[in-house]
Amino acid sequence: MISINKAIHFFLLLLGGIGIHCGMAADYNVGNNFSSDYVINDVNDPTLTLVRGRTYTFAINTPNHPFYIKTNAVTGSSASYNNGVTGNGIGSGTLTFAVPASAPNSLVYICSLHSAMQGTLIITNPPPAPAVISKPRQPAPGQVSFDVTGTVGRTHVIEATTNVASGWVAIGTNPPPNASFTFTDVNATGVPARYYRVLTR
């Protein structure tokens, strides 16, 4: 927390998740239910959501059921999606998918021999990075200014309160599509403490 003149306080509250993708275990354990389903993490043919820019591992244990990532739900090896995929079409081992920024919004996984063994891969963009408040200053009595650095093309809502447990009120937004801007609160007078946060939408 930064304090100016012992009366105006700043802090940054990050809302939303920051994903950390690490570890040795596979993201998805893939088995099979005879020739009718892939069983992924104990669910038959689930729809999986993958995020562009992240890498996923599939531990494949489906002998005689080659596991493919494809653009269309067809058997054989046609329509294979190989951009960022290592191990496409294996029946045992590890398939790795480094989801590229150019990946389509929807792909499928399918057995090259049995059309009933298939599911959908939904490809999404990563969430925006949280905005950062910096350089707090008091340009004039009763005013507070600070810089905000956020994500281009996103709306950043400035909120303020005198009680961090409740009562947050929107007091401004960035001029789209700017990611970096200076915000000045001209109503910061007469309160013992005022807290600020930035929400990215």
CATH of the domain at 114: 2.60.40.420
Structural domain total, the chain? 2
pTM of the model: 0.67
Question: Are 157 and 184 part of one and the same domain?
Answer: yes
Whether 23 maps to a domain, the answer reads: no
Q: Same structural domain for residues 72 and 120? A: yes
Copy the structure tokens of residue 37.
């389903």
The CATH number assigned to the domain holding 169 equals 2.60.40
**Domain boundary residue, one of 124, 143, 177:** 124
CA dihedral 30, 33, 36, 38 (to 10 degrees): -10
Instruction: Kindly state the average pLDDT of the residues 45-58.
Output: 98
More confident residue, 92 or 13: 92
At 172-201, the pLDDT tens digits run 988 766 788 999 999 888 777 889 999 888
How much is the pLDDT for 150?
Answer: 87
Q: Is residue 143 part of a domain?
A: yes
Task: Tell me: cis bond preceding 136? Omega within 30 of 0 counts.
Answer: no
What was the pLDDT predicted at 134? 94
With 80 as the cut, is the pLDDT of residue 11 above it?
Answer: no
> Count of alpha carbons within 13 Å of 57, Cβ hemisphere only?
11
Share of the chain above pLDDT 90, in %: 67
User: What is the domain range of residue 46?
Assistant: 28-124
Claim to verify: residue 107 and residue 52 sit in the same structural domain: yes
Looking at residue 201, its pLDDT comes to: 81
pLDDT at 176: 65
Nearest to 114 by CA among 71, 66, 69: 66
Q: Are residues 95 and 157 in the same domain?
A: no
* pLDDT tops 60 at residue 9: no
Q: Does residue 73 form part of some domain?
A: yes
Q: What angle do CA 130, 135, 139 make, to 5 degrees?
A: 130
Same domain, 117 and 34: yes
